[in-house]
Structure 1
Amino acid sequence: MAWDEWEQLKTTAADRHSTRMQLNQYPADQGGGGTQGDLVVGHKDLEAVGKAAHDLFNDFTTYSGHARVASEAAAGGLKGEGFALGDALDHVTQRWNEQTKTLLDACAHISNHLRSTQNQHAADDSYIAGTVSSIATLDEGFDDRKGH
């Protein structure tokens, strides 16, 4: 495309006013009040989430176990006395166990994912540091050669 042709296209577009060029960019203000740009999560933030998931896993394992044992005992007692409520409570206890396992699996998944993410970032940092130091070594070689 020749320069004159480009100038003519710009003039035609400006005359029409129906189509305008718009640059894709992040909107100026999203009302968040914080810094704009990439999501940043610090090591302390990840540790806090991991600790909360680990604590929930441990505490919920203990307390749900107490609830399970008490419910099973109550269901067994009611069934032993001939109450139909015993079967219903036994059913609820089984569902409770299934839901408990789901929650505990989710907590373990969060904790494991954060651990693997931390390990991957450490590996990435090591790789980047090695690459950058290699470039610095190469630059020093050129500087030394230039001085001769």
Structure 2
Amino acid sequence: MGTWDSGPFDNDTAADWCGDLDDADVAKRPVLIREALSRAAGEDGYLDADIACEAIAAAAIVAAQQPGGQPITSPYAPDFLRDGGRLNLPDDLTVLAVRALDRIMAADSEWRDLWQDATAGNVNPAFDAVYGLRRALTA
């Protein structure tokens, strides 16, 4: 996984997934977001980092669509969202996004392991980004 920063879109897997979301038919975009979140939330075994990266990007999109949500400005996010686009997302995606983030932060998550090993001390910007998304989704 190529990672250049700690944000939800700052890795190859998330950027590729966002490109696919950008290219998808408007009606299919909520389905793709649900699929990404469901794969992470429903994983019973060791959670693969790529699944986690896609789910974190999807959760960031859901969080941005909430009332008062932070606009998406990352150059690696879907173009239609950076240009002020909106999605009509079902309300249950908020709960699913929280479940996915909780699963990503569980002990048996490759994403969590990689970021825990990559940071020193109590400062972990990737964990902080996930916790921030979770706060936005549960506000």
Q: Same fold (TM over 0.5)?
A: no
Whichever structure has more helix as a proportion of its residues is 1
Shorter-normalised TM-score: what interval?
Answer: under 0.3
Structure with greater Cα Rg: 1
Q: What TM-score do the two structures reach when normalised by structure 2? A: 0.25
